[in-house]
Amino acid sequence: MSMRSEYEDYLARREHLKTTPMAGVWMNQESRYVKPFQMYGNLYYVGDSWVCAHIVDTGNGLILFDAGNCGNGATAMLIQAIWEAGFNPADVKWLVLSHGHVDHIGAVNFFRRMFGTKIYLGAPDAEMFRTKPEYSIIQESTDYMDELFEPDVEIQDGDKIFFGGTEVQFYLVPGHTEGTIACFFDVTDGRETKRVGYYGGFGFNTLQKEFLQEFGDPEYKMRQVYLDSIKKVRDQKVDIFMPNHTVNVNLLEKRRYMLEHPGENPFVDDEAWKKYLDRKYEDLLKLISELENKKISAGA
């Protein structure tokens, strides 16, 4: 099948989803505006109630981590949150994407065209956009992006990149997508420095049998790749676990706690990173075991 016909299939599938929503975890989440807040020092939350976005003030421009969802006013919510956090969206010099699914890349083209923002994406997901653009829409999603993009920088495993005065260490952690990134950097409140850890995609939806068979992994090798990715970065020193979906760290509950307990910061937790990655590792082992048992039972 040619790339052109595959893309046509993708477009047809997208049109079908517009009129026939599929049940799934993404359909059960409604993104709502969240008042932005300072997580710690020069790190700010500007995402919504479901899909996260963060700003880091480097002292010489802003880094935006992830670009929000597509449609339903998501870009407008993101721009408003940046303004309300006390920043000018025009100062977003760099936009770092956790991975290439449409629920995290919605405002990319807006930032590039409006402000000249440079776009950073894991190299395997940049290749996915070029050759398999249909992979950018996840199975259970009804989010759509009419135009993908070519990133300015394709992130490679082990890259260290300076953004203003902030150095970010990148790793590729394939699993949710092949180009999912993890990254680590320092933030400061002027007195202390804390290490932030970001893991770009935890969902198992792309590890299901049907998905892997459809997209060229009939032996389900990506499941083991995902396990190896977790082990790869699990022992990094992380003081603040920066989520890419609010559920990763119970972000909304912790935000409420901060409001009710001024002077306390539940996001500063040097155990949260390891605990969550360990939980996802165990959950994936359990999922693999259950799927294997079903396969054995079906063949009996």
Question: How high is the pLDDT of residue 27?
Answer: 36
Kindly give, in sequence order, each residue whose CB lies less than 8 Å from that of residue 71, ignoring residues fewer than 6 positions away: 106, 143, 144
Tell me, rounded to whole angstroms, the distance of Cα 249 from its chain centroid.
14
Instruction: Choose among 89, 197, 71, 213: nearest CA to 144.
Output: 71
State the Cα–Cα distance between residues 264 and 274, nearest whole angstrom: 21
CA distances (Å), 227 to each of 281, 286, 288, in order?
Answer: 6, 12, 11
State the Cα–Cα distance between residues 206 and 215, nearest whole angstrom: 10
Q: What is the pLDDT along the chain (300 residues), one digit of tens a residue?
A: 344 455 565 455 545 544 433 323 333 346 799 999 999 999 999 999 999 999 999 999 999 999 998 877 899 999 999 999 999 999 999 999 999 888 899 999 999 999 999 999 999 999 988 887 776 776 444 445 567 889 999 999 999 999 998 999 999 999 889 999 999 999 999 999 999 999 999 988 878 777 777 777 777 788 999 999 999 999 999 999 999 999 999 999 999 999 999 999 999 999 999 999 999 999 999 988 877 766 655 554
Question: How high is the pLDDT of residue 220?
Answer: 78
Alpha helices per DSSP H over 170-271: 209-214, 221-233, 251-260
Angle at the Cα of 17 from the Cα atoms of 16 and 21, rounded to 5 degrees: 130
Question: How high is the pLDDT of residue 30?
Answer: 60
pTM for the whole thing? 0.86
Question: How high is the pLDDT of residue 216?
Answer: 77
State the Cα–Cα distance between residues 135 and 137, nearest whole angstrom: 5
State the Cα–Cα distance between residues 199 and 184, nearest whole angstrom: 9
- Side by side, the strands of the sheet bearing 160-163 are 160-163, 166-172, 181-188, 193-199, 240-242
Instruction: Choose among 176, 171, 128, 134: nearest CA to 150.
Output: 128
CA distances (Å), 251 to each of 46, 52, 140, 268, in order?
Answer: 12, 9, 23, 12
Angle at the Cα of 192 from the Cα atoms of 188 and 196, rounded to 5 degrees: 50
Question: How high is the pLDDT of residue 140?
Answer: 44
Question: How high is the pLDDT of residue 221?
Answer: 85
CA atoms within 13 A on the CB side of 171: 19
Question: How high is the pLDDT of residue 28?
Answer: 39
